A = this chain, B = another copy of it.
Amino acid sequence: MVTKEKLFLGIDLGGTNLKIGVVTKSGRILEQKTSSIKHDKTIAGVVKNITAEVESLYRKYPSVSAVGLGVPGIYDVEKDVLFSAPNLPDWKNVRVKKILSKKIKLPIVVDNDANMHAIGEHFFGAGKNINNFVLLTLGTGIGGGLILNGEIFHGDHGFAGEVGHLVVEPNGERCGCGGKGCWERYAASHGIKLHLKNLSKVEEKNIVGMANRNLSEITPRMLGDLASIKNTEALKVWGVFGNYLGIGIATLINVLGVENFVIGGGISYAWDFFINSTRENALSHTYKFYKTRLKLKRASLGNNAGILGAAACVCVLNPRKHPCGV
């Protein structure tokens, strides 16, 4: 396909799938593909997969001028090191950009997937024209990306935005990071499980009856559906969840002095059932100043956030910091 417009490839590497999209400068996706990496998650296997997809799309779209890649782990942009990726066990201390640059003859930018999502929302989504905001993705954990002064803030080694591990209960639940009382133990799907367990025996009986499942089998999605038919226990759990979400947001407000939050991830499906308690509890832990200023917005890029963010990273960001800015 011949087009005069410059195009960009956005790649979203997950723990099970590789998504890739051909994206225009204005954020339109011309074509996208998803392929499984389940059969081979080794570095060589995934790199081979990425390379084949890029080559095939480049043949079809020769005006592709750069490639952005989001990786599911903590990545040091300056040193080009992916420290680790929880769902890709082989990928430890990997120089992702260097390895791919040997195979792909286009400029490549790599960053953490939540950062890519934040960049995507900043250029094409709910964070458009907002100079300072925190992106939160609510899933198994809480992912985060900090847009400060219009750019991703990476911190010393790419660890900035690990907001899922800000401490909300100093002596609370153990977390996979080695710490305890981390925010994501209370305000992500981990938290849903916990708050369900903390229901009274009577409440447990009621919700298990309604769901027609064991307590441990109730997913956030089911809990959202139960809330939408006004199940008391489901609404209660979302209220507790929302309160905890609000506490962490308050901490982010107080530390960063930002008033905009863009919230995505699977759990935002239940938005209507937690967002009021989130807002209320966030405001109850911050200066009154924020009462009229705090804006909690739903992320707007949905499942394409990864692709669009990775493409945005190469097509619109500051060329000084991003070698392939064009």
Question: Measuring CB to CB, which residues of chain A are less than 8 angstroms from any residue of chain B?
Answer: 83, 132, 144, 146, 148-149, 153-170, 177-182, 243-244, 247-248, 250-260, 284-289, 293
Q: For A168, list chain B residues within 8 Å (CB).
A: 167, 170
Q: For A286, list chain B residues within 8 Å (CB).
A: 165, 177-179
Q: Within the assembled complex, what's the spacing in Å between the Cα atoms of A177 and B251?
A: 13
Which of B146, B255, B284, B287 meets A252, CB within 8 Å? Answer: B255
Q: For A158, list chain B residues within 8 Å (CB).
A: 257
Question: Judging by beta carbons under 8 Å apart, are B251 and A178 in contact?
Answer: no
Question: Judging by beta carbons under 8 Å apart, are A160 and B285 in contact?
Answer: no
Q: Within the assembled complex, what's the spacing in Å between the Cα atoms of A325 and B132?
A: 25
Q: Within the assembled complex, what's the spacing in Å between the Cα atoms of A251 and B181?
A: 11
Q: For A160, list chain B residues within 8 Å (CB).
A: 255-258
Q: For A165, list chain B residues within 8 Å (CB).
A: 250, 254, 285-287
Q: For A163, list chain B residues within 8 Å (CB).
A: 254-255
Q: Within the assembled complex, what's the spacing in Å between the Cα atoms of A288 and B168?
A: 19
Least CB distance from A104 to B in Å reads: 28
Question: Judging by beta carbons under 8 Å apart, are A257 and B167 in contact?
Answer: no
Question: Judging by beta carbons under 8 Å apart, are A153 and B148 in contact?
Answer: yes
Q: For A255, list chain B residues within 8 Å (CB).
A: 144, 146, 160-163, 166, 251-252, 255-256
Question: Judging by beta carbons under 8 Å apart, are A156 and B258 in contact?
Answer: yes
Question: Judging by beta carbons under 8 Å apart, are A178 and B287 in contact?
Answer: yes
Question: Judging by beta carbons under 8 Å apart, are A156 and B250 in contact?
Answer: no
Q: List 26 A-B contacts (CB under 8 A).
A: A132-B155, A146-B256, A149-B153, A153-B256, A155-B256, A155-B257, A156-B293, A159-B287, A160-B255, A160-B256, A161-B255, A165-B287, A166-B251, A167-B247, A167-B251, A167-B254, A167-B285, A170-B247, A170-B285, A177-B286, A178-B286, A178-B287, A179-B250, A181-B285, A182-B254, A255-B256
Question: Judging by beta carbons under 8 Å apart, are B251 and A251 in contact?
Answer: yes
Most buried by B among A166, A180, A255, A288: A255
Q: For A162, list chain B residues within 8 Å (CB).
A: 254-255, 257, 287
